[in-house]
A and B are shown apart, each in its own frame.
Chain A
Amino acid sequence: MQALHVRKAPKRALLAILSLAFAAACSEDGGARPKDAGIDASGPPDASCFENPQTHAEIINACTTAQKVLKKPNLPLLQSGGALPPLPP
């Protein structure tokens, strides 16, 4: 796993590390998501990103100045741990 891009937000970096560890330990349906929500206008990359991404998980969460949206939807059917129920027949 690549080193995280840690700026002046050590608590956030720690949270990110814990989140990534959790995501890595989860099933394919699992995964931690940011707790905040809303549009994050383009600017410096935040702390929870990878500077030198190598794997798929790191590439999609690489540091970027691109505009992003942080979203945590309310999905009643989402199972505990973030698992997805099977599709209806």
Chain B
Amino acid sequence: MRTLAISILAAGAIAAALPRAAHAVPCDQVPGLANPVYLQVGDTQLALMKRLARALRDSAPRPVSLVFTTSGSCTNIRTIYDRTAIPATTNVQYAPSIAENPSWDPATSPTLTCQVPAGGKVPDVANSALFTSACTTETPPATVRHVQGPVQAYVMAVPKASSQTAITFEEAYFAFGFGMAGMAAPWVDESQLFIRTVTKSTLLAWAANISVPADKWKGIRRDGSSMVVADLESSTSPEKALGILGAEVYDSKRSTLKSLAFQARGQYAAYWPDSTPTAFDKQNVRDGHYTVWSPTIWMDTEAGGAPVNADARYVVDMIAGRSVTPAPAFDMIAIIAAVGLTPDCAMGVKRSFEGGPLSRYQPAESCVCKYESRVAQSNCATCTTTCATGVCRNGFCEVR
């Protein structure tokens, strides 16, 4: 009975988060949906899409309407490389403007839904939540521009009732590579290992970090992050349950789940993405103590060196932390920080391929102070124009 009740609650939670289809009319007939940009993104980027979509619709300097759908990163890459259209009448999501719904909350409210217009639509923007080389080694079409966006961390999560706090590289290798035969207690029940399908960044990123190829993982393969969350929340064997999630998905589920500290190969201790299990500062991602992360890759199309859709280029550049004109009427770093991603300008390490070795990194224009002011407490000096040391940017004295 308890299991049934938990399942019903989990199903209810998922249903509440799903987009509302009551207004599923063709997107080009939705009043006020100006300057639409169609995006196909990983489901780990849903929180970013919702928050950014809301902000852009009401950004007076240059309003843009994000119309988005989610799919696996590898699928998204293929879609824009091959210029595959999202079929007509497919339900896609968008956010209401303030005028349409002033109380809409990107963290909790469902998106609105419209349908891809007749003829279908090739996405203006595609997203991969990991290096594209993890999906394909082919040379990208010259018409597709790639830029790196915020960093996405991935976690192993367990139910709140689990007593586990950490997992090592070797434990993960045996648990997911061998299943029950791996004898990596307590993760020996393959029906309690909740993983993703092989086109999903969450699986591919973890695969690269524990040396278990994506197609060899043991466990229950789920198509969506929300399904893994529901599996963990409803598990009747919490000690044996283990799932993989994007960190920003986990961050919104901390009341019911725990993430495990991860000890990489050759590392002497295990660390969480954040400095403590309860922090949100992604300190260990930024300084290299937590190794399971990928840069998000954002792709749009161009012809003759110019963007095919200028609004799409505007959005991609904004996500990537580049200067855009006109400047939006909102704080992009605040949006990135709020959804659990880390802007490149706050990183202190980098890598060049999925799961590859880390090296030190100094972004050209640091935003560490600004980022930390949003997720923790910044110890940086504040400024208006100049600093005794460093550069005054966004109200803080950044190191460079």
Inter-chain contact B267/A75, CB cutoff 8 Å: no
Task: Report the interface size class on chain A.
Answer: 35 or more
| Closest-CB distance, B164 to chain A (whole angstroms) | 10
| Closest-CB distance, B75 to chain A (whole angstroms) | 26
**What is the count of residue pairs linking A and B with beta-carbon distances less than 8 angstroms?**
111
In A9-41, the 8 Å CB interface with B consists of 19, 23, 28, 31-34, 39-40
Inter-chain contact B288/A60, CB cutoff 8 Å: yes
A62 to B287, CA, bound (A): 9
Inter-chain contact B171/A73, CB cutoff 8 Å: yes
**B276: chain A residues within 8 A (beta carbon):** 42, 66-67
In A57-84, the 8 Å CB interface with B consists of 57, 59-62, 64-71, 73-78, 82, 84
Residue A8 at the B interface, CB < 8 A?
Answer: no
Using an 8 Å CB-CB cutoff, how does the interface string of B199-226 with A read, 1 for contact, 0 for none?
A: 0000000000001110010000000000
Known contacts A60-B267, A66-B284; is-contact A87 B181 (Cβ 8 Å): no
A28 to B366, CA, bound (A): 34
Inter-chain contact A75/B284, CB cutoff 8 Å: no
- Quick one: which of B168, B211, B266 contacts A71, CB cutoff 8 A? B168
Inter-chain contact A59/B358, CB cutoff 8 Å: yes
Query: How many residues of chain B get a CB closer than 8 Å to chain A's CBs?
Result: 43
Inter-chain contact A66/B268, CB cutoff 8 Å: no
**A64: chain B residues within 8 A (beta carbon):** 271, 284, 287, 289
| Closest-CB distance, B107 to chain A (whole angstroms) | 26
Inter-chain contact A60/B212, CB cutoff 8 Å: no
A17 to B289, CA, bound (A): 19
A interface residues, Cβ below 8 angstroms from B: 19, 23, 28, 31-34, 39-40, 42, 48-49, 53-57, 59-62, 64-71, 73-78, 82, 84, 87-88
B interface residues, Cβ below 8 angstroms from A: 165-166, 168, 170-171, 173-174, 177-178, 181-185, 211-213, 216, 261, 263-272, 275-277, 283-284, 287-289, 291, 349, 357-360
